[in-house]
Structure 1
Amino acid sequence: MEPPVAIDASAAPPRTKLSNYPEPFASRMKGRLKRPLGDLFGLSNFGVNLTELAPGAVSALQHRHSRQDEFIYILSGHPVLVTGDQETELHPGMCAGFKAGGISHHLENRTEASVVYLEIGDRTEGDEATYPHDDIMAVCEAGAWRFHRKNGEPY
């Protein structure tokens, strides 16, 4: 099937799977809805997601990538960006970037309204994600994430 030329981003189909994380981490992503826009257009060098966080939801486990750069742009709502031990309140129009190997990060929606943002990241083979507050690590191999405990034991 030929990819579309243009679409209304909010009408893009959401991911059917809540998260790539194994349990007990996947259920912590409850309230997060991702619409993989980049995949819809057949993009292979970088991904773009239109992501919505319901009240109380988080974007991901706090993490950092070894090779992947990430960028977010807030469209609506007021999430808290947690970077390491620092917290920054964001509002529509704000953006943030995370260089590969940089500080760990994630978004938290602590408000009673939804948060909507764009997230963009490259798809560098061999990228590793580390999670400072959880017993999990990930490696991107052949376009798929493989998860294991910090001691190397697989999930």
Structure 2
Amino acid sequence: MAPSDNEAPPCTLQAIDAPARTRPSHYPEPFASMMNGRIKRPLGDLFGLGHFGVNLTQLPPGCVSALHHVHSRQEEFIYVLEGRPTLLLGEQIIELQPGSVAGFAAGGQAHHLHNRTEQMCVILEVGCRTPGDTVAYPSDDIQAVAGADGKWQFTHRDGSRY
């Protein structure tokens, strides 16, 4: 939720107090349900940041951060604040802990996080908003293209719309 034109962005705030995104996922069904329980707080939007996004993401036990994916143009970075999420990076399985960081270059390996523990995981996510991005999901019949308006448009691999 970005500030309106009449509303000044906050100077500072406690990240955990930022409003959660109202939609749990941008994915169409049946994929959106796979993100049930995930809470994203879009911090960068609160300050009117347009070139990169910053999210405080909470993953309860059993929850995944996203589908296994790779961006064509956008880059991502994560910093684990709490918990011990599992990073699935290509075919690798990497156990993370508080203080762990990871970066994902455009066109690199597909990745996502999975909370396989009984404790909450809290991750700071940072990503650029490079126009013209596409996203491949090698484990699922879905692909995404960022529209001119910046919103994701999802199709099956054969190009038919969801």
TM-score norm. by structure 1 comes to: 0.99
Structure 2 gaps, min length 5: 1-6
Percent of residue pairs identical: 60
Paired residues, what number?
155
User: d(CA) in 2 for partners of 1:146 and 1:2?
Assistant: 31
Q: CA deviation at 1:133?
A: 0.3
2:34 paired residue number: 28
CA displacement 1:8-33 (0-9 Å, x = unmatched): 00000000101000000000001110
CA-atom RMSD, angstroms? 0.4
Q: CA deviation at 1:84?
A: 1.1
1:148 aligns with 2:133: no
1:138 aligns with 2:144: yes
CA displacement 1:48-89 (0-9 Å, x = unmatched): 000000000000000000000100000000000001111000
Q: How does 1:84-95 map to 2 (within 5 A)?
A: 84-95=90-101
TM-score norm. by structure 2 comes to: 0.95
CA displacement 1:94-141 (0-9 Å, x = unmatched): 100000000000000000000001000000111000000000000011
Structure 1 segments (4+ residues) deviating >2 Å:
none
Amino acid at match of 2:129: R
2:79 pairs with 68, 73, 79, which one? 73
SS of the equivalent of 1:81 reads strand
Amino acid at match of 2:151: A
Structure 1 gaps, min length 5: none
User: d(CA) in 2 for partners of 1:95 and 1:30?
Assistant: 24
